[in-house]
């Protein structure tokens, strides 16, 4: 199952920890027809999504993304210009 770094947890929670955002809000990762991954904010999981909840951060994965990311770690941070960047790495055995 996908896991999150501390940085990824913090950033996901920053996006969803607002009074006007539903309590179930999280980050949704879905697979596109050409096997690329798409990341977007989501108010709740879609039907059939795998839910990854870690340290209060919620990430929703569609079935294809869940399969692609089953042994990965999601990291996040800001680049030198302040843009949000996500990265994936293999989980350590």
H helical segments located in the chain:
6-16, 63-68
Q: Is the pTM of this model over 0.85?
A: yes
Nearest to 37 by CA among 91, 88, 90: 88
Instruction: Look at phi and psi of residue 68 and say left if phi exceeds 0, alpha if psi is from -120 to 50, else beta.
Output: alpha
Question: Which CATH architecture group holds 3-82?
Answer: Sandwich (2.60)
Q: How far apart are CA 60 and CA 48, in angstroms?
A: 10
List, for residues 43-64, the tens digit of each pLDDT value.
Answer: 999 999 999 999 999 999 999 9
Per-residue confidence (pLDDT) for residue 83, from 0 to 100: 87
Domain ranges of the chain: 3-82
List, for residues 30-46, the tens digit of each pLDDT value.
Answer: 998 887 999 999 999 99
């Amino acid at each position: 199952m996908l896991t999150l770094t501390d940085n990824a947890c913090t950033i996901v929670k920053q996006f969803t920890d607002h009074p006007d955002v539903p309590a179930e809000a999280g980050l949704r990762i879905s697979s596109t027809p050409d096997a690329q991954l798409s990341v977007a904010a989501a108010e709740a999981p879609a039907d059939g999504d795998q839910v990854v909840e870690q340290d209060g951060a919620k990430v929703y994965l569609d079935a294809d993304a869940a399969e692609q990311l089953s042994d990965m770690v999601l990291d996040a941070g800001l680049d030198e210009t302040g843009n949000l960047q996500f990265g994936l790495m293999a989980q350590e055995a």
